[in-house]
Amino acid sequence: MLIDAHCHLDFPDFDVDREAVFERARAVGVEHFVVPGTTRARWPSVLALGRRVDTSVCLGLHPYFLDDHCVNASRFDPHRLGARQLDGDDDLVALEAALDAHPEVVAVGECGIDARFENTLGAQWVLFKAQLRIAKARHLPVVIHCVHANDQVAKCLKEVGLPAGGLIHAFAGSLQQAQRFLALGFVLGLGGAVTHERAQRLRRCVAALPEDGFVLETDSPDMPPAGFKGERNEPARLARIAADVAALRHISRATLEKATTANAVRVFRLAG
């Protein structure tokens, strides 16, 4: 059994053939799916998927969609206010209410920092730290989007001290950075990037990770494995990722499946 620990199956990309996507995944041994939230507007679609027995869900506010979030302007750098941040509503308050109303939610996320967008970094940090506080108060794990900010995010997580750890989604850093996250109680999400031959630093890191330090994910519909550039990604491709990770670690797929399933079950407190 494989678990896709991070896939956006609520996205419109899957509206035409969503059930077929699930069926193709099951056909190659992917039997459970963790779907993160990205914006408040998408939470209802995420929660609807959470009614499936094979799907667990998270709720959060993704840094990439900063302009879609409605957050009290007083929380933010006055030089960066999203278009919806002036209407008097507050998505962070809504997030707390949604988590309290839906105990089936397994984590807060997807949240984090994307340092590619330097002009929004101040606002990103405010939004990220607020979600960390929300997760800490509820003893929930967090699902973290971290691009070009591994060291800064690790420092922040150490300062906050989250009791339930979480997932560093789409990890692509060094072994030293990986070890910092592991020491803080996090697991690393390994996806399509590890299948690319040019990702030699990441592949060396994957080979050296402890057995309990990582899970597998597709980030569908994004981040397809090597050989599928430009195509919509989907959870069935987790089998390719599993094969490459097993080969890098010189273990069988069965051994890899057992370890990564146990890791995902532990982090997200999934039913056994």
What pLDDT is recorded for position 86?
A: 37
Which value, in Å, is the radius of gyration of the alpha carbons in the chain? 18
pLDDT for residue 72: 73
Strand arrangement of the beta sheet that strand 186-190 belongs to = 2-4, 30-35, 55-59, 107-114, 142-147, 166-169, 186-190, 214-216
Q: What is the pLDDT of residues 27-81, one digit of tens each?
A: 999 999 999 999 999 999 999 999 999 999 999 999 999 999 988 755 555 444 3
Beta bridge partners of 190: 216
- pLDDT category at 204 given cuts 50, 70, 90 is very high
Instruction: Give me the torsion for CA of 170, 188, 141, 252, rounded to 10°.
Output: 110
Is the pLDDT reported for residue 257 higher than 60? yes
Alpha-carbon distance 143 to 36, whole Å? 8
Provide the annotated binding site: 6, 8, 110, 145, 169, 219
Largest CA distance in the chain: 55
Cα 12 to Cα 2: distance, rounded to the nearest angstrom: 24
pLDDT of residue 148: 96
The binding site for a divalent metal cation consists of 6, 8, 110, 145, 169, 219
DSSP bridge pairs for 215: 189
- Confidence grade of residue 82 (pLDDT, cut at 50, 70, 90): very low
Q: Hey, is 205 helix, strand or coil?
A: helix
Structure tokens at 207: 């080979």
The whole-number pLDDT of residue 150 equals 98
At 87, the pLDDT band (50, 70, 90 cuts) reads very low
pLDDT of residue 160: 97
Structure tokens at 161: 């001290």
Q: In this predicted structure, what is the pLDDT of residue 88?
A: 46
269 band by pLDDT with thresholds 50, 70 and 90: very high
Average per-residue pLDDT in the chain?
94
Asked if residue 156 lies in contact with residue 134, where contact means CB atoms within 8 angstroms, the answer is no
Q: What is the mean pLDDT of residues 192-206?
A: 97
Domain 2-268 = CATH 3.20.20.140: yes
Predicted local confidence at residue 136, as pLDDT: 98
Mean per-residue pLDDT for 163-168? 98
* Predicted confidence (pLDDT) at residue 191 exceeds the cutoff of 70: yes
Any idea how long the chain is? 272
pLDDT of residue 272: 61
